[in-house]
């Protein structure tokens, strides 16, 4: 049991002002057991009284009513004096006595939901009204004076706070108050950042980002590098089983989720070092997996598996023969899950339906940050320019769409070869487009995949006609690329002479 000393403070007087009322009730009940004095105002005070708490109104202390439709309630010297006065400073306590300023030991705040109001599509006026002034001021004041005040600045701290009160008989240590003060300034900074970004528009004057929930990783990309993931994966996945995800796992999972988002047909993909080494769409997910694995069974070893359909028992039987790090799917049949979970080190993730990918991407470079929109465009046939005399067949059109989706998510320079909604070979991250194509062809041949009448996708234009010539000689009959080279006519000319079809999308998909 914690006892009183210079660093430990006993909670006696508590100011409560929260937007969401129900979550705070268990914490209030723990405080009531300690016979504390509660101060509150407005809707929070009404709620507390309805639940049987004795509450002193802030207006009783300030002798001033809530004004301007509730915009000004707690903004008063007596309230902030009670929070900011140093309890061990005789001069402060003398002033507090002179001006009849009460003592407050704990402040509990839950701010107006500004970010949620923006996300809801509310009007500009409604959003502005959800900018909390009194609450944010209370949080900052209490956090500044953490040597004397304990501040609980959001609902996420209620459970831990109740546990502290219960286990320490109402006392709070200096280190605990300091920890909660740091959380309070985090809450404050995130809140202010959301307001700044809303008022600044699409391109703010300065780059600001705040991600909650630091998750320490074993290491970064390599064992000698420290690694941390900031964010809440529980918003994205339900983790059914598995060891802690590594830095590299998370990079590959991100690549997998971004790629699989492109497909509507039952599709399975296998990711290695953020590039797809196997992708296929089929009538059922078991067939899609088997085709995806055949793209490159060697590279699939130790990879990340992702599906846009539930994993069936039949599919799981095939998957179970492969060593893999992570599998991601919208769901799993009961028997499939039993089979896959037989090896405990496998990470089995169930993707949540309401998750959406972020609109912005950023990365640090040198002494700055690059920010861009996520690449959300994939041109469909309605926007293609068929530049050759030969037009792609219906089957080729389907394959061109398929290949173009994959090449969009492949490291540049990138070439993807596909047929029958099946990745046959890819060349990723090569310093020349010719090397990327040769690598893709070699991969397909290595695993006995037939390139006759296959299609080719390129993430950027062909600077010379050599790529279409190499592709033709390998059996490829149709090409999709952005176009835009000053030598486009040479590539088109070669295609026309050899009855190849080629389409321009007008959209480049560099990925570095």
364's enclosing H/E stretch is strand 360-365
Q: 238 to each of 26, 310, 505, how far by Cα in Å? A: 27, 14, 38
Query: Could you give the angle at the alpha carbon of 36 between the alpha carbons of 35 and 38, nearest 5°?
Result: 130
The candidate with the shortest Cα–Cα distance to 475, out of 440, 433, 432, 512, is: 440
pLDDT by residue (tens digit) across 405-414? 999 999 999 9
Give the model's pLDDT for residue 84.
Answer: 87
Q: What average pLDDT does this structure show over 219-233?
A: 95
The residues that are catalytic are 144, 273
Read off the pLDDT band of 208 (50, 70, 90). confident
The candidate with the shortest Cα–Cα distance to 311, out of 296, 299, 326, 300, is: 326
281's enclosing H/E stretch is strand 275-281
CA atoms within 13 A on the CB side of 221: 4
The candidate with the shortest Cα–Cα distance to 15, out of 78, 71, 66, is: 78
Give the model's pLDDT for residue 77.
Answer: 85
pLDDT by residue (tens digit) across 395-443? 999 999 999 999 999 999 999 999 999 999 999 999 999 999 999 999 9
Q: 116 to each of 18, 102, 138, 202, how far by Cα in Å? A: 16, 35, 21, 18
Q: Assess contact for 73 and 66: CB atoms under 8 A.
A: yes
In this predicted structure, the answer to whether residue 352 has a pLDDT above a threshold of 90 is yes
Give the model's pLDDT for residue 213.
Answer: 83
Give the model's pLDDT for residue 491.
Answer: 97
What is the bridge-based pairing of β-strands 415-418 and 455-458? antiparallel
Q: Assess contact for 397 and 503: CB atoms under 8 A.
A: no
In this predicted structure, the answer to whether residue 42 has a pLDDT above a threshold of 90 is no
Q: What average pLDDT does this structure show over 390-399?
A: 98
pLDDT by residue (tens digit) across 371-386? 999 999 999 999 999 9
Give the model's pLDDT for residue 2.
Answer: 56
From CA 452, how far away is CA 399, in angstroms rounded?
Answer: 13
Q: State the average pLDDT for the chain.
A: 94
| Least confident window among 73-82, 147-156, 365-374 | 73-82
Q: Assess contact for 54 and 64: CB atoms under 8 A.
A: no
pLDDT by residue (tens digit) across 109-128? 999 999 999 989 999 999 99
Q: What backbone torsions phi and psi does residue 349 show, to the nearest 5 degrees?
A: -115, 135
> How deeply is 386 buried, as exposed, middle or buried, from its count of CB atoms within 10 A (0-12, 13-18, 19+)?
middle
Read off the pLDDT band of 70 (50, 70, 90). confident
Using H for helix, E for strand and C for coil, what is the string for 312-360?
CHHHHHHHCCCCEEEEEECCECHHHHHHHCCCCCCEEEEECCCCCCCCE
Give the model's pLDDT for residue 510.
Answer: 97
Q: Assess contact for 401 and 417: CB atoms under 8 A.
A: no
Classify the phi-psi angles of 22: left when phi > 0, otherwise alpha if psi is within -120 to 50, otherwise beta: alpha
Give the model's pLDDT for residue 267.
Answer: 98
What is the bridge-based pairing of β-strands 501-504 and 368-373? unpaired
Q: Assess contact for 497 and 474: CB atoms under 8 A.
A: no
Q: Count CB atoms within 10 A of the CB of residue 223.
A: 8
Residues in Cβ contact with 178 at an 8 Å cutoff, skipping those fewer than 6 apart: 146
Q: 24 to each of 30, 47, 48, 158, 439, how far by Cα in Å? A: 10, 11, 10, 6, 60
> How deeply is 314 buried, as exposed, middle or buried, from its count of CB atoms within 10 A (0-12, 13-18, 19+)?
middle
Q: What average pLDDT does this structure show over 8-24?
A: 95
From CA 18, how far away is CA 23, in angstroms rounded?
Answer: 10
Give the model's pLDDT for residue 280.
Answer: 98
pTM greater than 0.85 (yes/no):
no
Using H for helix, E for strand and C for coil, what is the string for 401-447?
HHHHHHHHCCCCCCEEEECCCEEEEEECCCCCHHHHHHHHHHHHHHC
Read off the pLDDT band of 5 (50, 70, 90). low
Q: Assess contact for 263 and 288: CB atoms under 8 A.
A: no
Structure tokens at 328: 């991601």
From CA 373, how far away is CA 359, in angstroms rounded?
Answer: 6
Q: Count CB atoms within 10 A of the CB of residue 88.
A: 9
Q: Assess contact for 481 and 504: CB atoms under 8 A.
A: yes
């Amino acid at each position: 049991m914690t006892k009183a000393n210079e660093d430990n403070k006993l909670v006696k007087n508590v100011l409560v002002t929260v937007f969401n009322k129900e979550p705070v009730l268990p914490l209030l009940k723990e405080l009531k057991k300690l016979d504390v004095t509660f101060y509150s105002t407005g809707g929070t005070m009404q709620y507390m009284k309805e639940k049987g708490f004795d509450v002193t109104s802030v207006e009783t202390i300030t002798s001033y009513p809530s004004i301007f439709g509730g915009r000004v309630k707690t903004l008063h010297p007596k309230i902030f004096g009670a929070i900011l006065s140093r309890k061990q400073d005789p001069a402060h306590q003398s002033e507090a006595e002179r001006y009849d300023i009460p003592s407050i030991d704990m402040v509990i705040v839950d701010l107006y939901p500004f970010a949620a109001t923006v996300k809801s599509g509310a009007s500009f006026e409604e959003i502005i009204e959800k900018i909390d002034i009194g609450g944010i001021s209370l949080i900052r004041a209490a956090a500044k004076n953490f040597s004397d005040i304990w501040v609980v600045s959001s609902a996420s701290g209620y459970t831990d706070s109740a546990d502290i009160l219960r286990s320490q008989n109402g006392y709070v240590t200096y280190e605990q108050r300091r920890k909660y003060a740091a959380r309070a300034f985090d809450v404050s900074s995130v809140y202010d950042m959301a307001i700044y970004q809303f008022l600044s528009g699409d391109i703010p004057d300065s780059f600001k980002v705040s991600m909650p929930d630091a998750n320490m990783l074993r290491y970064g990309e390599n064992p000698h590098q420290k690694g941390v993931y900031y964010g809440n994966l529980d918003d994205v996945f339900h983790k059914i089983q598995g060891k802690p995800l590594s830095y590299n796992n998370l990079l590959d999972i991100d690549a997998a989720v971004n790629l699989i988002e492109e497909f509507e047909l039952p599709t399975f993909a296998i990711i290695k070092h953020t590039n797809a080494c196997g992708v296929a769409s089929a009538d059922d997910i078991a067939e899609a997996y088997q085709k995806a694995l055949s793209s490159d069974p060697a590279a699939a070893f130790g990879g990340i598996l992702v599906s846009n359909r539930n994993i069936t028992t039949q599919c799981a039987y095939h998957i179970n023969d492969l060593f893999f790090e992570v599998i991601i799917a919208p769901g799993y049949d009961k028997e499939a899950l039993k089979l896959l979970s037989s090896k405990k080190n496998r990470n089995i993730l169930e993707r949540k339906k309401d998750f959406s990918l972020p609109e912005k991407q950023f990365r640090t470079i040198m002494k700055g940050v690059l920010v861009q929109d996520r690449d959300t465009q994939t041109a469909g046939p309605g926007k293609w320019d068929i530049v050759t005399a030969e037009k792609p067949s219906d089957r080729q059109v389907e394959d061109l769409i398929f290949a173009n989706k994959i090449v969009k998510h492949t490291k540049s320079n990138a070439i993807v070869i596909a047929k029958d909604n099946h990745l046959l070979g890819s060349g990723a991250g090569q310093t020349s487009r010719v090397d990327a194509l040769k690598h893709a062809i070699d991969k397909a041949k290595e695993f006995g995949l037939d390139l006759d009448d296959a299609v080719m996708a390129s993430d950027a234009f062909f600077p010379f006609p050599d790529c279409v010539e190499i592709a033709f000689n390998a059996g490829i009959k149709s090409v999709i690329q952005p176009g835009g080279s000053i030598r486009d006519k040479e590539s088109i000319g070669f295609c026309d002479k050899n009855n190849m079809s080629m389409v321009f999308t007008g959209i480049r998909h560099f990925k570095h």
